[in-house]
Each structure stands twice: as structure tokens, then as C-alpha cells.
């Protein structure tokens, strides 16, 4: 009974106040809903899911969220000599990302987007786990935190599976899962726990989430999920070393919410 009361109280608080993350990620979508009460009901439903303790198996959860994860390949326009084969290969910068709306908006790390902006010759592809590929049409990058939004064009009858953002942040010790492309191995799943909250860049813009999840080059920008399949943030970086030492950082969804609406507005206005 006490647990039920706690769930209802938290749900009421989230419904009335609406968390920063929900506002920051969903306000642009309000016009598609019949009313604000419909939006508020959706937030309440998500809060109940997050607080009720209804957990599917990790296998099922990963299957459910995998369609929202993407691999990103940026072709810089330069060529490199592969010393192992002595053949010339195009230079490719690899990263990961996650779908944030059904119309083709992809969230990733800022330094992944920067690779596309670095040269007029650069082109980028977004690849889904079912094999679909789309050319990146637009990119906008936040100047302060390592976040970027990409846009791909879909056919009129196409839509994407967007991610569900966690209505509450994880706590230290919670188990989390990452999907990414370490060393080019796309859609690799790794798991671990939340180790701490930090501010590794000293920007004073809120805490990054420290995790012991294995993250390597190619994971940047990839989604990190809680046990309910909610997005808690995106892979940001690792502590430099010869191998992954288990000290890695995730840009939290609350940090992203602070800049998301502005980036989204910039992204869609550039398309018009």
C-alpha cells in the first residue's frame, strides 16, 4: 500500500510539474496532441511505468529499443592507405545515435556531428539494425555540451521508432545498457552500473553520469538505457588509456533537455 501511495504521489508531482526532460524533449510535439491534458496523461503513464517496478527481461528490453538505435558513418572525403592490405580506403569516422522523433531526427554526440561539418566533401549515413540506410541531410551542434542533432529524409509512408526518455534519473548502483558501434562493430550491446555523478568537463551545466559500461571509439552518441528501456542519456567519452578501464561518461537526458528544443528548432528551420 505504501508503495502504491508513493507511486501515485510521484506520478501526481510529475503530472503537474512535468519534468524538465519531458518538456525539453516533447514540447515541440504538443500540437499533434488533442490537448495539454493528453500530454499530461502521457507523462503520468510514463511515470507509472518507471516507478511501478514492472521490468521485462534484459533480452526483451534490448529487442524493444534496438529499432531506435543507429550507427553513424561519416565519410570525410579523404583517403587513407590501409597498411595491412596496402589498399587505399576512404576515411570513415564512426559513431552512434538514437531516434528522437518519428520524422527523422537523430540525437548523437557533438564531436560526431563535427566530423560531418569539418569538410564540404564530407557525407554521412545513418544505418539501422534492420539494414535501412539514410543520407544525413542536416546537422546542428550545441556549442557548450557534446550534443548534436541530425536529420534524415524519409519517404512519405515511412516512420521511425523514437526513443522513450526516462522521466526520472537513475541512481548510483542502477544497472544500465549501452548500444553502439565500438571499433565499427555496429549494434553492440554492453552493460554495467551507474558509478557516480560527475562534471568531467567542468562546464557547471549539470552532472554527467559516470558508468562502468564498456564504451570505446564508435560508441560516441549512442543511447544508454535503464532497465525499463528508457533513455538515460548518450555515450560521451572515456578516460584516455590503452584500453577501456571502466570509467566512462554519459551525457544525461536532463542535460540534453536543456538544449534540445533550441537545437530542434534550428534543425527544422534550416530545412525550410
Query: Each residue of 12-45: pLDDT tens digit?
Result: 444 434 444 443 354 434 344 444 455 555 555 5
Catalytic residue among 68, 181, 186, 220: 220
Q: Which residues contact 270 (CB under 8 A, 6 or more apart)?
A: 138, 140
Give residue 248's pLDDT.
92
Let me know if 101 is a catalytic residue: no
> Which of 12-26, 73-87, 244-258 shows the lowest per-residue confidence on average (mean pLDDT)?
12-26
CATH of 164-256, one of 1.20.1540.10, 2.40.10.10, 3.40.190.290, 1.10.10.10: 2.40.10.10
* Distance separating alpha carbons of residues 271 and 236, to the nearest angstrom: 27
Q: What is the pLDDT of residue 25?
A: 52
Calpha distance 106→102 (Å, rounded)? 10
User: Which triple of cell numbers denotes residue 36?
Assistant: 495539454
Question: What is the structure's pLDDT at 49?
Answer: 52
Q: What is the pLDDT of residue 83?
A: 76
Categorize the per-residue pLDDT at 61 as very low, low, confident or very high, splitting at 50, 70 and 90. Answer: very high
144-177 pLDDT per residue, tens:
999 999 999 998 888 899 999 998 899 999 999 9
Residues 206 and 42: beta-carbon distance below 8 Å: no
* Confidence check: pLDDT of 125 > 50: yes
End-to-end CA distance of the chain: 53
Q: Is 146 a catalytic residue?
A: yes
Contact in structure between 46 and 167 (CB atoms under 8 Å): yes
Q: Is the pLDDT of residue 270 over 80?
A: no
pLDDT at 150: 97
Max Cα-Cα span within the chain: 69
Residue-wise burial string across 15-49, b where 16 or more C-beta atoms lie within 10 A, e elsewhere: beebbebbbbbbeeeeeeeeeeeebbeebbebbbe
Question: Does position 65 have pLDDT exceeding 70, yes or no?
Answer: yes
pLDDT at position 47 over 80: no
Residue of 101, 142, 146, 244 with catalytic role: 146
Q: Which CATH architecture has domain 66-162+258-271?
A: Beta Barrel (2.40)
Q: What is the CA radius of gyration of the chain?
A: 19
Place of cell 590501409: 82
Grade residue 246 by pLDDT with cuts at 50, 70 and 90.
confident
Contact 141, 118 (CB under 8 A): no
Q: What is the mean pLDDT of residues 238-249?
A: 73
pLDDT > 70: what percent of the chain?
73
CA 9, CA 25: separation in Å to the nearest integer?
Answer: 23
Task: Give me the residue spans of the domains in the chain.
Answer: 2-51, 66-162+258-271, 164-256
- Cell (9 digits) for 207: 552532472
pTM: 0.79
The 3-state DSSP class for residue 204 equals coil
Q: According to the model, what pLDDT value does residue 50 have?
A: 52
Q: Cite the beta strand spans of 181-272 per DSSP E.
A: 188-198, 208-211, 223-225, 231-238, 248-252
Of the listed 64, 111, 195, 207, which one is catalytic? 111
What average pLDDT does the segment 118-139 reach? 93
Q: Is 220 labeled as catalytic in the residue annotation?
A: yes
Amino acid at each position: 500500500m505504501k508503495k502504491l501511495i508513493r507511486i501515485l504521489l510521484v506520478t501526481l508531482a510529475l503530472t503537474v510539474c512535468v519534468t524538465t526532460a519531458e518538456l525539453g524533449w516533447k514540447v515541440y510535439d504538443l500540437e499533434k496532441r488533442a490537448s495539454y491534458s493528453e500530454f499530461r496523461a502521457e507523462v503520468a503513464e510514463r511515470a507509472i511505468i518507471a516507478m511501478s517496478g514492472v521490468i521485462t527481461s534484459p533480452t526483451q528490453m534490448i529487442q524493444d529499443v534496438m529499432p531506435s538505435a543507429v550507427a553513424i558513418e561519416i565519410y570525410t572525403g579523404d583517403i587513407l592507405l590501409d597498411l595491412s592490405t596496402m589498399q587505399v580506403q576512404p576515411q570513415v569516422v564512426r559513431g552512434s545515435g538514437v531516434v528522437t522523433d518519428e520524422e527523422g531526427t537523430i540525437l548523437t554526440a557533438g564531436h560526431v556531428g563535427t566530423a560531418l561539418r569539418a569538410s564540404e566533401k564530407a557525407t554521412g549515413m545513418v544505418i539501422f539494425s534492420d539494414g535501412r540506410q539514410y543520407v544525413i541531410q542536416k546537422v546542428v551542434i550545441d556549442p557548450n555540451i557534446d550534443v548534436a542533432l541530425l536529420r534524415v529524409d524519409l519517404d512519405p509512408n515511412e516512420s521511425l521508432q523514437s526513443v522513450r526518455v526516462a522521466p526520472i534519473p537513475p541512481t548510483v548502483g542502477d544497472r544500465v545498457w549501452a548500444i553502439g558501434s565500438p571499433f565499427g562493430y555496429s549494434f553492440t550491446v554492453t552493460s554495467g552500473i551507474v558509478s557516480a555523478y560527475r562534471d568531467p568537463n567542468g562546464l557547471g551545466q549539470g552532472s554527467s553520469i559516470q558508468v562502468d559500461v564498456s564504451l570505446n571509439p564508435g560508441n560516441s552518441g549512442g543511447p544508454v538505457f535503464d532497465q525499463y528501456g528508457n533513455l538515460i542519456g548518450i555515450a560521451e567519452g572515456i578516460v584516455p588509456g590503452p584500453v577501456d578501464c571502466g570509467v566512462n561518461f554519459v551525457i544525461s537526458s536532463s542535460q540534453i533537455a536543456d538544449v534540445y528544443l533550441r537545437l530542434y528548432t534550428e534543425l527544422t528551420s534550416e530545412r525550410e
